[in-house]
Amino acid sequence: MESTITKDKSTTSINLGKPHNVILFNDDHHAMDEVAAQIMKAIHCDMQTAVKLMMEAHTKGRAIIFTGHKEKCELVASILEEIRLGTKIEPA
């Protein structure tokens, strides 16, 4: 993923590396509303999106919660892990 910053008619490219995915695994130890709230906190989405992602993890065993550069994925995963949800970061 590459980001371009324009400043005073000059251009600087910043290479953020290859994109990664944050995977959320099914969780049978937390209430569904608790998981959805943590997803909302981690990726700043609405409740409908959080519930959809949570249900995908619940029914399929895993769901891609976020895709982005590795450092951002690490932040998202750490927020999910605050309540001990199972996550994994892998190349997209």
Q: How far apart are CA 68 and CA 83, in angstroms?
A: 22
pLDDT above 70 for 53 = yes
Phi-psi label, residue 14: left if phi above 0, alpha if psi -120 to 50, beta otherwise = beta
Give per-residue pLDDT as tens, 23-42.
999 998 999 999 999 999 99
pLDDT above 80 for 8 = no
H/E segment holding residue 68: strand 62-68
The one-letter amino acid code at 2 reads E
Question: Lowest-confidence range among 10-24, 29-43, 54-68?
Answer: 10-24
* Domains in the chain: ranges and CATH: 17-91 (3.30.1390.10)
**Tell me, what DSSP letter sits at residue 48?**
H
pLDDT above 60 for 14 = yes
Structure-token match 């400043």, residue found = 7
Residue 29, judged by CB atoms within 10 A of its CB (0-12, 13-18, 19+), counts as: exposed
pTM metric for this prediction? 0.81
What is the pLDDT, as a whole number, of residue 10? 58
pLDDT above 80 for 3 = no
The one-letter amino acid code at 51 reads V
